[in-house]
Amino acid sequence: MCEECGCLDPGKVLLPRHGTRIDLTIPVLGANQDEADGNREMFARLGVRVVNLISSPGSGKTTLLQALARRLGRRMAVIVGDPRTDRDAARIREAGCQAVQIETRGACHLDARGVGARIGELDMSGVKLLVIENVGNLVCPAGYDLGEHQKVVLLSTPEGDDKVLKYPSIFCKASTLAITKIDLLEHLDFDCDRVETECRSLNPHVACLRVSARTGEGIEALEARMAGVPGRDGEEG
């Protein structure tokens, strides 16, 4: 998918006709940062807490959001990013909260401009938590500020416990790591302690949670972290 959005070679775009490369790191990311700062001001005016939810495809983002929607209802709203279809947004709406879909048409991450443009489609009165469900990808979304208060990264047990050091950027930047699908642990060779230790070796202040949307384990703690309630380390998520 990276060839669609131009981040196959970070900061550079190949001009196919001439075979040359132009460095676009500063203008592209600078423009996104300006949009992200504008989003942050808008979110402050709205009085809403914003979470950027990042993971690989299939890690359970939407299923967790369905569980949170059933708990929070109209107090939560969701912006969903996927290359095609509005299936995930429809699932979240059916669970009881507002959701709008961004179809990226192949791009492998959301950007701040796209997020800001969709806020007007949501009725934000009474909304306390806005979750941005990013495109399934552990690499590209890590580099794009959307104006959020925190990044929450999910790692599901079927993915394997070796991913943290393979994809360090997002684990360095996340405020919270949620290990998902822990109800499957008895069937898998997955070491939660290893994942948490390796994540804290990159990011000493990260909060680590173990969650199952199926059984409900850890959902209340995840909700608290996403809402900015101080955790055991005494710091806001």
Give the chain's largest Cα–Cα span: 56
Pairing of strands 49-54, 129-133: parallel
Contact 78, 70 (CB under 8 A): no
Domain boundaries, the chain: 2-226
Q: What does the pLDDT read at residue 30?
A: 85
DSSP state of 183: G
pLDDT for residue 22 is more than 70 = no
Q: Each residue of 70-103: pLDDT tens digit?
A: 999 999 999 999 999 999 999 999 999 999 999 9
pLDDT at 122 over 90: yes
pLDDT, tens digit, for every residue of 160-215? Answer: 999 999 999 999 999 999 999 999 999 999 999 999 999 999 999 999 999 999 99
pLDDT confidence of residue 12: 46
Out of 12-26, 87-101, 122-136, pick the least confident.
Answer: 12-26
- Radius of gyration (C-alpha) of the chain in whole angstroms: 18
Helix (H) or strand (E) holding 120: none
DSSP-assigned states of every residue in 10-44: TTEEEETTTTEEEE-HHHHHHHHHHHHHHHHHHHH
pLDDT value of residue 46? 97
According to CATH, the superfamily of the domain at 2-226 is P-loop containing nucleotide triphosphate hydrolases (3.40.50.300)
Output the CA torsion 136→237→170→31 (10° steps): 80
